[in-house]
Structure 1
Amino acid sequence: MWLLIFGITILVCVIGIIYLINAISRFGFISKMQKKWQRKLLSALIIALFFTGSTFLLGLVNAMAILLYVLLFFILSGIIVYIIQKVSGRKSDIYLQGWIAIAVSIIHLSCAYYLCHVVTRTDYDLKSDKEVSGIHIALIADSHLGTTFDGEGFARELSKIEAAGPDLLIIAGDFVDNDSNKKDMVRACEALGNLDLRYGVYFVYGNHDKHTFNGRDFSAQELEDELIKNNVYVLEDEIVNIDNLCIAGRKDYATSQREDILELLKDADESKYIIVIDHEPTDYENECMSTADLVVSGHTHGGQLLLIKYLGEILGVNDQTYGYKRINSTDFIVTSGISDWALDFKTGVRSEYVMINVN
């Protein structure tokens, strides 16, 4: 799906650049040039310099996202200005479409950068008839080390989570990705090992954790070794029982052959509060028929960008993009993630860590 999205994005960018060349050529200082080819050439150079600078500072994916949003706001502002002029019967001497688009793009992308980089806390209060009153579960996912923070930055975020007083921490996959480096991975694992939590830390792999594409300086085995070295429970279709909790970690849906959820939980003690960690929210139909009390996931980044926020659900890729849902007697929570993959922007959602209070 992502290859299809990337291909469509490139096509839209190419068409968008042609549109933007025409739109930018209408700014006053450019429109005064006598020859049309000169106006078009200068507009193209401005776009090229802007795109090159964005790529240099933030990377190709971010540059493409910025370009798409600028294009969107030029189109929308053009429609709005056209309607206003038709209704009023007056045409402004100022190039309103262009200036509105630029102003909105700056404000929107600045807010999106903030929403991505500043991690907030989200709370959910759940009810259970089982003997788990007062259990506090911290949930994070999709740290994608190296995108918005390095190993030290991750350690700082963990200190905030620890201060919130959870009994355990769940990491629902995509701890690292292809662009992460070993130094940050080791430091982040050490930070996990330094946490003082009643029930410890539990981890499942996401679709990025094991698949290096020959692009990073550590292997999946080295990642697992560092996690285990720092007392993190790495669960791959495995169950851990501790006090009144049963914690089941599933293999990733997209990258591994995994057990059916009913098979995985067949021997689980139903008197315990059963938590299932599943990186991708794709198996609700079966999970809601199981003995699971709570299923937690990440992967979607909450939709990440407003333009594609609900695309996964529309295409049937994800059962839920973000937030809380209850089906039968099972609670489902999908977090938007503590960071982002490749992009430095989040719109329509923000980076978070989750506190789940069970009473």
Structure 2
Amino acid sequence: MDDDTTKEDMVAACEALGTLKTTYGVYYGFGNHDKGYYGPQYRGYSGDDLIAELEKNNVKVLQDETVLLDDRFYLIGRQDRSEDQRGNDRASMEELTADLDTAKYSIVLDHQPYEYEDQATVGVDLVLSGHTHGGQLFPLNRMGELLGIDAKTYGLEQQKNTNFIVTSGISDWAIKFKTGCRSEYVVIDVREISQ
């Protein structure tokens, strides 16, 4: 979703997510534009309306929540850090992982590629992010990293034993094209390594 996603398109997207056939369910982590803080009057629905529509379609929204799946791995969905600006402080990685069994694999959904050191220090295995749209516009595509806004613009990075993946995503922001990267959706196979 984005600031200019219409209610009709939002409903259709939620219905499409609800039709996905998966082993462990469909999970959703908010980004900085999903709740419509930057223009709700244009799109005709609130963040709460979006949550209700997702849940109606059996999509589990994770905002500073952890779920254990198949008693084998954790999925940790972080509240977007833009919520801090609205007085909605997000939980720290220490809080989110305090009671987890570290022998189990852990995947973090964190829209903005940020706090890499904190995530690596607590020992999560994989962090998935987007937000940057892959840099979107050349030659400004690495500006977020240079200014310290984002830890990474695109790709795979490893710190300690934590892998970080930042995708460019399918869409764009503000202008309807990208010059610094391609649109994509990413399929990630996580496989257990035999001992």
TM-score by length of 1: 0.50
Give the CA RMSD over aligned residues.
Answer: 1.1
Partner of 1:310: 142
- The 5 A counterparts of 1:146-165 are none
Is 1:250 the equivalent of 2:97?
Answer: no
1:249/1:278 contact within 8 Å kept: yes
Looking at secondary structure, tell me which structure has more helix per residue.
Answer: 1
Could you tell me whether the CA contact under 8 Å between 1:177 and 1:212 is conserved in 2?
no
SS in structure 1 at match of 2:187 = strand
**Which of 325-334 and 248-257 deviates more?**
248-257
- Residue in structure 1 matched with residue 115 of structure 2 by the alignment: 283
- SS at 2:179's partner residue? coil
Does residue 219 (structure 1) correspond to residue 46 (structure 2)? The answer is yes
Matched residue, 1:184: 9
Among residues 205, 223, 231, which one is paired with 2:58 in the alignment?
231
What residue in structure 2 maps to residue 206 of structure 1? 31
Q: What is the SS of the residue equivalent to 2:121?
A: coil
State the SS of the aligned residue for 1:353: coil
Hey, what's the Cα distance between the residues in 2 that align with 1:252 and 1:281? 10
SS in 2 for 1:307: coil
SS of the residue 2:139 aligns to: helix
The percent of aligned pairs where both chains have the same amino acid is: 52
> Secondary structure at 2:185's aligned position in 1?
strand
> Contact conserved, 1:241 with 1:247, CA < 8 A, in 2?
yes
Please state how far the C-alpha of 1:212 moved relative to its aligned partner: 4.6
Which residue does 1:329 correspond to in 2? 161
Give the conservation status (yes or no) of the 8 Å contact 1:207–1:252. Answer: yes
Matched, 1:264 2:96: yes
1:139-150 to 2 correspondences below 5 Å: none
Residue 262 of structure 1: how far off its partner (Å): 1.2
Letter in 2 for 1:344: K
How far apart, CA to CA, are the structure 2 residues paired with 1:219 and 1:347?
A: 31
Equivalent position SS for 2:9:
helix
Candidates 67, 84, 87, aligned match of 1:240 = 67
Asked whether the equivalents of residues 276 and 296 of structure 1 are also in contact (C-alpha less than 8 Å), the reply is: yes
Which amino acid is 1:191 matched to?
A
Q: For 1:339, what is the secondary structure of its paired residue?
A: coil
* Contact residue 252 and residue 258 of structure 1 kept, 8 A: yes
Task: Say which of 99, 105, 127 aligns to 1:295.
Answer: 127
Moved over 6 A (4+): none
* Number of residue pairs aligned between Structure 1 and Structure 2: 184
Is residue 304–residue 348 contact of structure 1 (8 Å, CA) maintained in 2?
yes
Gaps of 5+ in 1: 1-175
User: In structure 1, what is the Cα distance between the partners aligned to 2:189 and 2:47?
Assistant: 32
1:56-112 CA-to-partner distances (Å, cap 9, x unmatched) read xxxxxxxxxxxxxxxxxxxxxxxxxxxxxxxxxxxxxxxxxxxxxxxxxxxxxxxxx
Q: Any idea what SS the aligned residue of 1:324 has?
A: strand
Q: Deviations over 1:122-176 (max 9, x none)?
A: xxxxxxxxxxxxxxxxxxxxxxxxxxxxxxxxxxxxxxxxxxxxxxxxxxxxxx1
- Specify the alignment match of 1:30 in structure 2: none
User: Based on CA coordinates, which of the two structures has the bigger radius of gyration?
Assistant: 1
Q: 1:282 Cα shift?
A: 1.2
